[in-house]
Amino acid sequence: MRQVVCMKWGTLYPALYVNRLYAMVRRNIEGELRFVCLTDDPKGVRPEVECLPCPSVDLPAPYNNTGWRKITLWARELPQMQGDWLFLDLDVVITGCLDEFFTYAPDKSFVVMQNWTQRGKGIGNTSVFRLRIGAHPYIYDRLAPDFPEILRRYRIEQTYISKTVRDMAFWPDAWCVLFKTHCVPPMPMRWWQAPRLPAGARVVAFPGDPNPHDAVRGIWPVKKWYKKLYKHILPATWIADYWHE
């Protein structure tokens, strides 16, 4: 059985994102699927998704409800979860077959997407990773007692994981891409060329802004007016071909 997990807490992403993620996964995996959403609010989530309580992390606000909360997946035990799991952020768009994500580098207990904004530095992007539950409990055990020093050294959770974990591999480069890095044309071409899906991409990650619901309409939310000069995109209409129920 293929096992996939996502996390949803707070109000940043509605149930729609869980439902569409499930639909994309189901279309791109053969055979049996167990899809779990760790969430503090299962309302509106489609019945095929198994909702379990989202574990909390003993960190000061606001860090307890940021990406650092993903570290709870690294605990020695997780209720009702064992074995290898493919983790997907809610804001990814799946554009190709996922079956090989479960068989690639089978001897590795942690396989992760390359962090393309820091390529070559041995840092993963935790938008897409496969983890063996209980394989690296020290990642979780160190977090709360050592958090001030961890935060000072690493700033974000994916850097902490990458620099601490004892067993890591990266997915093949073509499989996982960043929307802003690989799809959006460079300046000034993004003013007249629409974002494109790279050949061979299976998962497109959308860290930060824009999210898929904005990118498909050609919206890049910005707060400062001058950023509109370079944070500009045309509609990525191909997103609608994949990001749907």
29 plus 140 within the same structural domain: yes
Cis peptide bond prior to 235, omega within 30° of 0: no
**39 vs 177: CA distance, rounded Å:** 26
The tens digit of pLDDT for each residue in 181-240 reads 999 999 999 999 999 999 999 999 999 999 999 999 999 999 899 999 999 999 999 999
The tens digit of pLDDT for each residue in 61-90 reads 999 999 999 999 999 999 999 999 999 999
Burial (CB count within 10 angstroms: exposed 0-12, middle 13-18, buried 19+), residue 241: exposed
113 plus 221 within the same structural domain: no
Q: pTM for the complete prediction?
A: 0.96
Structural domains of the chain, count:
2
99 plus 198 within the same structural domain: no
Burial (CB count within 10 angstroms: exposed 0-12, middle 13-18, buried 19+), residue 141: middle
**β pairing state of 169-170 and 84-88:** unpaired
95 plus 162 within the same structural domain: yes
Which residue has tokens 């489609």?
46
